[in-house]
């Protein structure tokens, strides 16, 4: 166990990304898992790539909660998640190769919708159909699987245990999707027989994992266990409150934890927002502080900003307080974890957007119509760079004055407290405040 972890209070925390994803949720959840008993994913699917670094080893998790590397911790996947059983099986293999024993430790809601091969195919077809308005999805079938859920034709985990129900539901899929399934070229045709037999073949794997997650969490809570709720993506990708349509298909904000797990609000003590010290975005959509220049390139190279799922280069830009004010409000954020501060170490100056100019108005919060974000021009405040290494620093007192001023300013402007500061990818590259 990390030497500092005893200093983190045992609370039921929700961890959510406050930007466009990839803020460092995996690292922070792995770290906070040490002071929790249960770690629960509540939305998204394998569009998520959560990186954990243990010693010299890097692991990227897509579905399994980021607490899995702590022996004995219970890992839960809620009904709000869309689960690709093929990807999940691969991930079980990966964690086993790292010496993890997951027996009796992973539990999945009976109501979790499955991502099946036709969803992945539909993701590609829909994306090309959008033409120049493409979203740049991860092509993992996320959107189409959530469409089926809302259309009430999704195949849920519990369905694989009934021959008749599974057969019937796959027939419905075939019927309703026939307009495009029938037009697929022979080499792309979906083999429904194979999907049926694959799912039946996975019953033994899923039987011990399938449960009533809501009840499991309630029982754990009543027994005094501490629960850590792990969000995926980030606030600006929330399907309701983000930069729609350039968003994902789930509620990435705090409400998603309630509906995605079947819990009440009193099972959450603290909302922790993860903020990267600058901004990145993968995929299409407005990004007011984007840097399309050498500074942006340096942020990408120093920060290793390449997608953990698709390896696409991430778009980069300065920190944006206007965007973050929105993200803090829609999540009711109590504290933030500021990550990747070390990436800024060599910059001569560091900028932070404080407000926007949009259609002749000065804005401190996002425009009412978020589509106007593409027309917003940010105004910046400029900090002198601290120009010394913060990489791996673990104590507040060792931080350069400039770095302290930068983080104090962010917390003041957002009216939040700082839970921790991350100065490197590993667990112990952390300053607990």
User: Which stretch in 45-53, 212-220, 298-306, 369-377 sits in contact with ligand IMO by CB under 6 A?
Assistant: 45-53
Beta-ladder partners of 279:
317
- The tokens of 119 are what? 């969803």
DSSP states of 270-286 as a string? EEEEEEESSEEE-SSS-
Site string for Mg ion, 46-65 (x = CB under 5 A): ---x----------------
Provide the minimum distance between the beta carbon of 28 and ligand IMO in the complex, in angstroms, as a whole number. Answer: 12
Q: Which does 422 bind (CB under 5 to 8 A by kind): ligand GDP, ligand IMO, Mg ion, none?
A: ligand GDP
Q: Is the dihedral of CA 371, 150, 80, 333 positive or negative?
A: positive
Q: At which residue do the structure tokens 């922070």 appear?
A: 28
Using CB under 6 A as the binding rule, whether residue 169 contacts ligand IMO is answered as no
**Contact code string over 46-65 relative to ligand IMO, x by CB under 6 A:** -xxxx---------------
Instruction: State the Cα–Cα distance between residues 372 and 356, nearest whole angstrom.
Output: 11
Peptide bond into 245 cis (omega under 30): yes
Tokens of 260: 């995605």
Any contact of residue 28 with Mg ion (CB under 5 A)? no
The minimum distance between CB 236 and ligand IMO, in angstroms, equals 9
296 binds Mg ion (CB under 5 A): no
Residue of 31, 19, 28, 137 lying closest to 82 (CA atoms): 137
Q: Which of 353, 291, 344 shows the shortest CA–CA distance to 323?
A: 353
User: What H or E segment, with its residue span, contains residue 15?
Assistant: strand 13-17
Indicate whether 233 belongs to the interface with ligand IMO (CB under 6 A): yes
Q: Does 21 bind ligand IMO (CB under 6 A)?
A: yes
Active-site entry in 30, 37, 50, 119: 50
**Helical H segments across 352-423, by residue range:** 401-414
Query: Quick check: 283 binds ligand IMO (CB under 6 A)?
Result: yes
- CA 96 to centroid of chain Cα atoms: 23
Nearest alpha carbon to residue 262 among 306, 321, 311, 213: 213
Q: Using CB distances below 5 to 8 A depending on partner kind, what does residue 245 bind out of ligand IMO, Mg ion, ligand GDP, none?
A: none
- Choose among Mg ion, ligand IMO, ligand GDP, none what residue 43 binds, the Cβ cut-off being 5 to 8 Å by kind: none
Q: For residues 278 and 343, is the Cβ–Cβ distance under 8 A?
A: yes
Nearest approach in angstroms of CB 43 to ligand GDP is 13
Residues lying near ligand GDP in the complex (CB under 6 A): 17, 21-27, 49-51, 53, 304, 308, 339-340, 342-343, 422-425
For the CB of residue 248, give the shortest distance to ligand IMO in the complex, in Å.
3
- From CA 386, how far away is CA 393, in angstroms rounded? 14
Q: Does residue 50 carry a catalytic annotation?
A: yes
Q: Is 308 in the site for Mg ion (CB under 5 A)?
A: yes
Residues that contact ligand IMO, how many (by CB under 6 A): 24
In whole angstroms, how large is the CA radius of gyration of the chain?
Answer: 22
- Minimum distance of ligand IMO from residue 365's CB (angstroms): 23
As a whole number of angstroms, the distance between CA 384 and CA 397 comes to 19
* Closer residue to ligand GDP in complex, CB, 37/345: 345
The reply on whether position 418 binds ligand IMO by CB under 6 A is: no
As a whole number of angstroms, the distance between CA 322 and CA 18 comes to 12
Displacement of CA 233 from its chain's centroid (Å): 3
Contacts with ligand IMO, 304-323, as mask; x by CB under 6 A? ----x---------------
> Hey, which residues are catalytic here?
22, 50
- Give the binding site for Mg ion (CB under 5 A): 22, 49, 308
- Give the binding site for ligand IMO (CB under 6 A): 17, 20-22, 47-50, 135-138, 140, 142-143, 232-234, 237, 248-249, 282-283, 308
């Amino acid at each position: 166990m990390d030497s500092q972890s005893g200093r983190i209070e045992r609370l039921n925390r929700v961890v959510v990304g406050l930007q466009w994803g990839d803020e460092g949720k995996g690292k922070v959840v792995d770290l906070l898992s040490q002071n929790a008993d249960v770690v629960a994913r509540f939305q998204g699917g394998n569009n998520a790539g959560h990186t954990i670094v243990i010693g010299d080893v890097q692991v990227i998790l897509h579905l399994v909660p980021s607490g899995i590397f702590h022996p004995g911790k219970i890992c839960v996947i809620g009904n709000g998640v869309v689960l690709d059983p093929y990807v999940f099986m691969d991930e079980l293999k990966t964690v086993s190769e790292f010496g993890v024993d997951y027996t009796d430790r992973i539990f999945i809601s009976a109501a979790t919708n499955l991502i099946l091969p036709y969803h992945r195919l539909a993701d590609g077809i829909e994306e090309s159909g959008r033409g120049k308005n493409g979203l740049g999805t991860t092509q993992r079938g996320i959107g189409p699987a959530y469409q089926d859920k809302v259309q009430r034709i999704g195949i849920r985990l519990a369905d694989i245990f009934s021959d008749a129900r599974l057969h019937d539901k796959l027939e419905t899929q075939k019927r309703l999707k026939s307009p495009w399934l029938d037009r697929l070229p022979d080499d792309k045709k979906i083999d429904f027989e194979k999907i049926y037999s694959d799912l039946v073949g996975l019953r033994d794997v899923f039987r011990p994992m399938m449960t009533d997650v809501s009840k499991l969490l309630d029982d754990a809570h009543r027994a005094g266990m501490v629960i850590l709720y792990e969000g995926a993506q980030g606030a600006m990708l929330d399907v309701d409150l983000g930069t729609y349509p350039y968003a994902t298909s789930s509620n990435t904000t705090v409400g998603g934890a309630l509906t995605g797990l079947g819990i009440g609000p009193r099972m959450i003590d603290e909302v922790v927002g993860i903020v990267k010290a600058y901004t990145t975005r993968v995929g299409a959509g407005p990004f007011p502080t984007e840097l399309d220049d050498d500074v942006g390139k340096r942020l990408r190279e120093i920060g290793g900003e390449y997608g953990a799922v698709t390896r696409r280069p991430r778009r980069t830009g300065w920190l944006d307080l206007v965007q973050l004010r929105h993200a803090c409000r829609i999540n009711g954020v109590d504290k933030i974890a500021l990550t990747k501060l070390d990436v800024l170490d060599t910059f001569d100056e560091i900028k932070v957007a404080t407000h926007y100019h949009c259609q002749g108005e000065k804005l401190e919060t996002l425009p009412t119509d978020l589509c106007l974000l593409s027309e917003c021009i940010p105004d910046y405040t400029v900090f002198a760079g601290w120009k010394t290494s913060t990489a791996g620093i673990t104590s507040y007192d060792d931080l350069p004055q400039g770095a302290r001023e930068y983080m104090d300013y962010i917390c003041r402007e957002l009216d939040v407290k700082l839970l921790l500061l991350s100065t490197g990818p590993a667990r112990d590259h952390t300053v607990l405040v």
